[in-house]
Amino acid sequence: MTPSKKAAYAVLGQAVRRAIMGNEGIELASTLTCPFCGSRTQEQMLEDRCVIVYSCPHCGRIMRPRKGDCCVFCSYGTVRCPPEQFRLNG
């Protein structure tokens, strides 16, 4: 990751954390549905990081975001990732 991108993520993470503390409706738990075996796994998301590679604990296959999505939570989760929720909240 380039330093400027890292800085941008840090700033976004702070904003997301503030939104969480301010109770602005940011969810941190998401249930992923594996596209291969259909198993559901509840995961805790980080405020400022996107998960782009996730190994299904049931079948071991690797999930990656669908085209246009930033992370596996946006593609396969019940809740989009915190930075995305923050963006959508405006």
Which residues of the chain form contacts with Zn ion (CB under 5 A)? 34, 36-37, 39, 56, 58-59
Q: How far is the CB of 50 from Zn ion (least distance, A)?
A: 20
Token reading at 77 = 């989760």
**Strand 29-33 and strand 40-44: pairing?**
antiparallel
Identify which of residues 6 and 40 has a Cβ nearer to Zn ion in the complex. Answer: 40
Please give the helix or strand (H or E) that residue 54 lies within, else none.
strand 54-55
Q: How far is the CB of 31 from Zn ion (least distance, A)?
A: 13
Identify which of residues 26 and 63 has a Cβ nearer to Zn ion in the complex. Answer: 63
